[in-house]
């Protein structure tokens, strides 16, 4: 059971959102048959998506995170709804890389470091909010932190972690985001930096049995943090036969005609959940 928890300091100046996303990242591994480094990269980005999605306000809000770093992963995409339910995909899942200099899974090697992090927030307005920033490290958490600093000018720290077992299943995954709320009090920045220094890495905290609630409160230590709310989050794809059919009809006329005239059944596979939809040639309409 993956769970998100949001906590607020007693004076309302600092927010901490934390998630144990172990089940979600296991689901990513199950659906996409990810190698350990791909599990770590997609797991980190999806965990960021859970947290950032949960900070949106309205039922129809939709968040998309897109990372294109030029590495073997291709483009990594995560979408999240306002409850923090996520789905994700990448260009390539079965990538094996040697560990990085620190002996860890080489997420930056898989993602690439030369490229962009895109954040799109569709709140139902004519033009969705959209920002792109250059990747800082390709390790995801630093890139999300940099996004908040450059695009939103909100002092924010994001930490993410995925621990992969020898059998490639996910032992622990999670993350937290600490954010100063306006009006920003400068002295709080130092306070929070100290808290972060005292905290172990996300995977260490989870391995030591800390819950998302305890992690959220650890981020607010000394600030009399209170839990605002908590709920379950899932890997969730909202694809349907109808939507897939709409997607099919957006292909070019010539392509649709040749599909229809081929006389063969057409299989369309959802990139996010691997669900397969079948269409008969006479269901393909073209004008
Ligand atoms: Zn799907």
Residues 184-222 pLDDT 10s: 888 888 888 999 999 999 999 999 999 999 999 999 999
What mean pLDDT do residues 265-285 have?
Answer: 90
Report the helix count and the strand count for the chain, using DSSP H and E.
Answer: 9, 12
How far, in Å, from the CA of 2 to the mean position of ligand 1?
A: 20
On whether the CB atoms of residues 66 and 76 are closer than 8 A, the answer is: yes
Percent of the chain with pLDDT over 70: 100
Residue 209 token pair: 């049995």
How far, in Å, from the CA of 45 to the mean position of ligand 1?
A: 18
Position 45 scores a pLDDT of 98
Range with lowest mean pLDDT among 13-22, 70-79, 116-125, 260-269: 260-269
Position 251 scores a pLDDT of 85
pLDDT band per the 50, 70, 90 thresholds, residue 259: confident
State yes or no: pLDDT of 286 exceeds 80: no
What mean pLDDT do residues 61-80 have?
Answer: 98
Name the residue with tokens 């094996």.
Answer: 96
CATH number for region 241-283 = 3.90.1280.10
Residues near ion ligand 1 (CB < 5 Å) are: 237, 239, 270, 272-273, 275
How far, in Å, from the CA of 89 to the mean position of ligand 1?
A: 10
As beta bridge partners, residue 6 has 17, 229
Name the residue with tokens 């995909």.
Answer: 89
How far, in Å, from the CA of 52 to the mean position of ligand 1?
A: 21
C-alpha distances in angstroms, 270 versus 36, 41, 91, 244, 279?
A: 22, 20, 13, 8, 14
C-alpha distances in angstroms, 285 versus 67, 108, 243?
A: 35, 44, 15
How far, in Å, from the CA of 274 to the mean position of ligand 1?
A: 6
Between CA 34 and CA 95 the distance in angstroms is 8
Tell me how crowded residue 28 is: count the other CB atoms within 10 A of its CB.
29
Position 287 scores a pLDDT of 63
pLDDT higher for 252 or 87?
87
What mean pLDDT do residues 92-108 have?
Answer: 96
Position 252 scores a pLDDT of 85
How far, in Å, from the CA of 271 to the mean position of ligand 1?
A: 7
pLDDT band per the 50, 70, 90 thresholds, residue 277: very high
Q: What CATH number does domain 2-233 carry, 3.55.30.10, 3.30.870.10, 1.10.620.20, 3.20.20.10?
A: 3.55.30.10
Q: Would you list the domain boundaries of the chain?
A: 2-233, 241-283
Between CA 81 and CA 63 the distance in angstroms is 6
Position 253 scores a pLDDT of 86
Residues 117-150 pLDDT 10s: 999 999 988 899 999 999 999 999 999 999 999 9
Indicate the average pLDDT of the chain. 94
Q: C-alpha 242: how far from its chain's center?
A: 26
The dihedral built from the CA positions of residue 265, 271, 272 and 273, taken in this order, carries a sign that is: positive
Helix (H) or strand (E) holding 135: none
């Amino acid at each position: 059971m993956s769970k998100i928890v949001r906590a607020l300091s007693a004076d309302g100046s600092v927010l901490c959102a934390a998630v144990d996303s172990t089940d979600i990242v296991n689901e990513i591994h199950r659906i996409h048959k990810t190698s350990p480094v791909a599990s770590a990269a997609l797991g980190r980005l999806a965990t960021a998506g859970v947290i950032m999605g949960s900070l949106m306000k309205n039922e129809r809000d939709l968040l998309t995170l897109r990372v294109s770093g030029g590495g073997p992963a291709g483009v990594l995409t995560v979408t999240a709804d306002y409850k923090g339910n996520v789905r994700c995909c990448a260009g390539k899942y079965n990538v094996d890389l040697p560990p990085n200099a620190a002996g860890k899974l080489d997420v930056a090697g898989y993602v690439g470091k030369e490229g962009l992090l895109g954040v799109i927030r569709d709140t139902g307005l004519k033009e969705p909010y959209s920002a792109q920033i250059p990747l800082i490290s390709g390790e995801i958490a630093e890139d999300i932190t940099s996004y908040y600093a450059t695009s939103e000018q909100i002092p924010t720290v994001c930490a993410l972690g995925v621990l992969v077992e020898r059998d490639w299943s996910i032992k622990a995954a999670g993350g937290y985001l600490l954010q100063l709320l306006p009006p920003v009090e400068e002295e709080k920045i130092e306070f929070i930096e100290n808290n972060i220094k005292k905290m172990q890495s996300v995977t260490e905290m989870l391995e030591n049995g800390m819950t998302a609630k305890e992690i959220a409160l650890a981020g607010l230590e000394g600030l009399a943090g209170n839990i605002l709310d908590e709920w379950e989050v899932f890997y969730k794809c909202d694809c349907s036969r109808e939507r897939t059919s709409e997607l099919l009809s957006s292909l070019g006329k010539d392509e649709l005609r040749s599909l229809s005239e081929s006389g063969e059944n057409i299989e369309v596979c959802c990139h996010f959940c691997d669900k397969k939809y079948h269409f008969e040639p006479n269901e393909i309409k073209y004008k």
